Amino acid sequence: MKRKHNIGYYLIKYKVFLIFAVLFIVMAVTSDFFLTKANLFNMLRQLSINGLLAVGMTFVLITGGIDLSIGAVLTFSAMVGCSFIRNDSPYPVIVCILVTIAIGITIGFINGVVIAKGNVPAFIVTLGTQLMASGGALLFNNGSPIPGLKDSYNTIGAGNILGIPLPIIIFLVVLLVGVLILKRTRFGRYTYAVGGNNLAAEACGINAAVVKIKVYVIAGLCAAIAGIVLSSRVKTATPLAGDGYELDAIAAVVLGGTSLSGGVGSMWGTVVGVLIIGLLNNGMDLLNVQSYFQDIIQGLIIVLAVFIDVNTNKKQR
C-alpha cells in the first residue's frame, strides 16, 4: 500500500533545503557577484573545512554522543604534521599526511575508549581533549605558526582537478564515503541502532562500545583531513586555526535534521546544513555585513531553522 504525497508533504519534509533555497535566491538577487563561478568555487572551498568536520560529527551525534575536540584536533594534528614539511625538511609529503592523520585517529581513539569503556560523558571527555589539544598546539611551536611549507604540500589546498579546486573534491570524496558507510554498511546501521537504543543493540549481539569508539575515530580522522586541507590552503599551520570549528560543525549537523539525542540523522541533511552555514558566511561577506553582526545573524538563523524544523515535525494531537 503506497500513499501518494502532495507537494505540501515534501515541502515539510525537506524544509531545511527550502531554507537553503530561499537564502540562495536572496543572495542571487541582492549581489551581482554571488552567482559568478569564482565566488561559488570560493564559497565551496571555504565550506569544505566545515563539511569535512561535519561528516565525522554526523556519525558521533547519531550515536547520541558529541565531540567538542575536533576543532582543536584539526589545529594540533596540522601543527605537528606540518613540522615535517617545512621547506628545509627532508621528508616527503606523505609523511606529513600520515603523521597528521595518525594524530587525529589517536585522539579520536582515546576519546572513544574513555567514553565507551570508561563511561565518562562524551561532553566532558571531549572538552578535556579539546583543552589538551589546544594547549599542545600552542606549546608545540611556542605559540608561533609554522609557515614556509613545501609547494608540493600547498598544492593540496590550492590545486585544481579539471578546474575544480582540490579541497572541494576532497570534501566530496569524504562525504560520499561517509554516505556509503552510514547507509550501506553494517557499521552504519549499528551507529543508528546504538543511538536509538543502546541496550537493545547490545541484546542483538552488537558490541556497542566498539561502535562508539569507531565513530570518535572517524571524527578524529575527519578533523585531521580538515587540518591538512586548511593548512595547505593558507600555506601555514597556525596554533589557533580550528578554534571553535566544532561548534560550526555541530550547528551544520543539527540544521540537517540529526537529533542531538541520537538515533536519527542523515548525511545529506548534514550537507544542506553545511551549505546553509557556508552560504551565510559568504553572503554576509559579499553584502559587507560587519563581522560582529555576522555572528549575531548566524546564531539567530541556526536557532530559527531548528525551531522551524522541530515544530513542524511535531505529531498532531
Partner 1 sequence: MSEILLEMKGIVKEFSGIRVLKEVPFTLKNGTVHALMGENGAGKSTLMKILNGTYLKDQGEIYIKGESVDIKNTSAAKKYGIAMIHQELSPFLDLSVASNMFMGREFLKNGTNLIDENKMNSECIKIFEGMKIEIPPKAIMRDLSVAQMQLVEIAKAVSTDAEIIIMDEPTSAITEEEVGKLFKVIDDLRNEGKGIIYISHKMDEIYQIADEITVMRDGTYVGCDSTKNLTYDQLISMMVGRSLDQQFHKTFHKPGEVLIEVKNLTRKEEFRNISFEVRSGEILGIAGLMGAGRTEIVETIFGLRKKDEGEILIEGKAVTINCPKDAIEKGVAFVSEDRKSIGLNLIGSIKENITLANLRKYCSLGTFIHMKEERETSDEYIKKLAIKTESRNKLTGELSGGNQQKVVIARWLSTNPKVMILDEPTRGIDVGAKAEIYKLMDDFAAQGNCVIMVSSEMPEILGMSDRVIVIHDGKITGSFYAKEATQEKILTAASGI
- Applying CB under 8 A, the residues found at the interface with partner 1 are 1-3, 184-187, 189-190, 192-193, 196-197, 199-207, 263-264, 316-317
Cβ neighbours of 120 (radius 10 Å): 14
C-beta of 87 vs 207, nearer to partner 1: 207
End-to-end CA distance of the chain: 25
C-beta of 162 vs 203, nearer to partner 1: 203
C-beta of 94 vs 173, nearer to partner 1: 173
Strands 164-165 and 160-161: antiparallel
DSSP state of 207: -
**Nearest approach, Cβ of 251 to partner 1 (angstroms)?**
22
**Nearest approach, Cβ of 174 to partner 1 (angstroms)?**
18
d(CA 234, CA 248) in angstroms, rounded, equals: 20
C-beta of 1 vs 162, nearer to partner 1: 1
**Nearest approach, Cβ of 192 to partner 1 (angstroms)?**
6
**Nearest approach, Cβ of 309 to partner 1 (angstroms)?**
16
Going by C-alpha positions, the residue among 26, 15, 16, 13 that lies closest to residue 280 is 26
d(CA 167, CA 45) in angstroms, rounded, equals: 6
C-beta of 128 vs 196, nearer to partner 1: 196
The helix or strand, by DSSP H or E, that contains position 46, with its residue range, turns out to be helix 37-62
**Nearest approach, Cβ of 205 to partner 1 (angstroms)?**
4
- From residue 162, alpha-carbon distances to 105, 156, 169, 176 in Å are 31, 14, 10, 19
**Nearest approach, Cβ of 71 to partner 1 (angstroms)?**
29
> CA 159, 162, 165: angle at the middle one, nearest 5?
35
What is the amino acid identity at position 34? F
Place of cell 552560504: 279
C-beta of 202 vs 285, nearer to partner 1: 202
